[in-house]
Chain A
Amino acid sequence: MKIIISNQSELPIYAQIREQLKEQILNGQIPEGETLPSIRQLAKELGVSVITTTRAYSELEAEGFIATMQGKGSVVLSRDNNLLREQYLLRIEEGLSTAIETAKTIGMSKGELTDIFHNLLET
């Protein structure tokens, strides 16, 4: 698990933590079932406020990435969890719509675009 905080970033610190944890949970760097450091531990390590880390964790919890249990800390949830699948779907859709938007700006046809899509899938 690694988190890099930038004070220059336009994202607030809690969002930076949230996004970076999400990223690592999604790509498997932080495996399912792993216990995350406590809110206070993380705040101390990163040198940020407790309220900031609390917010990052509670948003991750709301999005279904982690579950916090009294006395056990915050545990990374399994990735075939429905909520998580939804997250993936959302990201796939996002990525594809960017591609479609870009294709539209240069007036690419539907056929051409699907060809690229199929080619990419095969490589």
Chain B
Amino acid sequence: MELLEVKNLSKHYKSFDLKNISFALPKGYIMGYVGANGSGKTTTLNLITGMLKCTEGEVYIDGLSCGEDMRAYKEKIGYVGDESYFPEHYKIRHIRSVLKDFYPTFSTDRFNGFIRKWKLPEKKPVKDFSRGMKVMLMFASVLARDTKLLVLDEATNGLDPVMRTEVLKLLQEYVMDGEKSVIFSTHILSDLENIADYIYFIHGGRTVLYDAKDELIENFLLVKGESAKIPPALKRELIGVEENAYGFEAVLPSDKAELLGNAFLFEKPTIDQIVIHYIKSREEQ
């Protein structure tokens, strides 16, 4: 069963185009939406949450589109952004009151539980919160009600390692019952890489790679060696050759491994390495 279906999503701007983004995220899974800054990650996520109106295409959450029943659609989504989206002058009690007014499934007890657990200050306005506190307040407001999809836009940027680990656990707990899914965008995967089931990689508003993460890692090799030794047949297949004074590093599709012979070192790449070399190859074109 698909929880999130994105079909041919496009958004046209004067200076930037997001083109034909399509994917399906099944229930109970986590997708990493990866790309450099300005590649269209936020645009895509804002189209999913309905904050932006798409030029073309459709988004379905749990089979429901925004146009059919906007209220029900928005109730299914929990969104956490890279910056606080609360009115700056609000204190926790104001946010609690708004959540209670608007979301039928909001649980004050659950909310207060998070506030206590993460030691968020009740007396201060949101603008005086630290960055980490703002992020955790967003998580508290989202997790204190029933949602189907978490949409996280660079939410863990600027969190310290302890809090990142906490968020990671939260996300895995969230998908635990196999009914809910998470999509998060990021420009650095690092610790988030492990928990992602699917990776969608965009560059310049276009899809570059989209696959289950384990497949992706198996489909590529990280190759290192002396630049002078690269035969032309191999050169054609290498992606994003990064040269330095002593050698090169590049990514190669695993099915071309026989071209390597014994002259080169190769190893299992990380998603970040695949992404970096792909971006390099795109920019050379």
Q: Are A and B close enough to touch in the complex, i.e. CB under 8 Å? A: yes
Contact with B along A1-42 (1 / 0, CB 8 A): 000000100101110000000000000000000000000110
CB <8 Å contact, B267 and A49: no
- Assembled-state Cα–Cα distance A7/B267 (Å): 12
The reply on A52 being an interface residue by CB < 8 A is yes
The reply on A113 being an interface residue by CB < 8 A is no
CB <8 Å contact, A44 and B196: no
CB <8 Å contact, A12 and B195: no
Which of chain B's residues have a CB closer than 8 A to the CB of A83? Answer: none
The reply on A99 being an interface residue by CB < 8 A is no
Smallest CB–CB gap between B31 and chain A, Å? 10
A interface, how many residues as a size bin?
Answer: 10 to 19
CB <8 Å contact, A40 and B28: yes
Which of chain B's residues have a CB closer than 8 A to the CB of A7? Answer: 194, 270
**Nearest CB to that of B176 among chain A residues?**
A40
Which of chain A's residues have a CB closer than 8 A to the CB of B213? Answer: 49, 51-52
Q: A40-B28, A44-B173 are in contact. Are A49 and B195 (CB under 8 A)?
A: yes
Q: A40-B175, A40-B178, A52-B214 are in contact. Are A47 and B168 (CB under 8 A)?
A: yes
- Assembled-state Cα–Cα distance A13/B194 (Å): 9
The reply on A48 being an interface residue by CB < 8 A is yes
CB <8 Å contact, A49 and B217: no
Contact with B along A92-103 (1 / 0, CB 8 A): 000000000000
The reply on B29 being an interface residue by CB < 8 A is yes
- Assembled-state Cα–Cα distance A47/B168 (Å): 8
The reply on B172 being an interface residue by CB < 8 A is yes
The reply on A43 being an interface residue by CB < 8 A is yes
Checking B176, B194, B214, B218 against A47 with a beta-carbon cut-off of 8 angstroms, the contacting residue is B194
Q: A10-B268, A12-B218, A12-B268 are in contact. Are A51 and B175 (CB under 8 A)?
A: no
CB <8 Å contact, A10 and B176: no
Contact with B along A76-93 (1 / 0, CB 8 A): 000000000000000000
Contact with A along B186-209 (1 / 0, CB 8 A): 000000001111100000000000
- Assembled-state Cα–Cα distance A51/B28 (Å): 10
CB <8 Å contact, A49 and B169: no
* A/B interface sample: 25 pairs, CB < 8 A: A7-B194, A7-B270, A12-B214, A12-B218, A13-B194, A40-B175, A40-B176, A40-B178, A43-B172, A44-B169, A44-B172, A44-B173, A47-B168, A49-B194, A49-B195, A49-B197, A49-B214, A50-B28, A50-B29, A50-B197, A51-B197, A51-B198, A51-B212, A51-B213, A55-B214
Ranked 9 nearest A-B pairs via Cβ: A44-B172, A49-B197, A51-B197, A48-B194, A40-B176, A51-B212, A47-B194, A50-B197, A51-B214
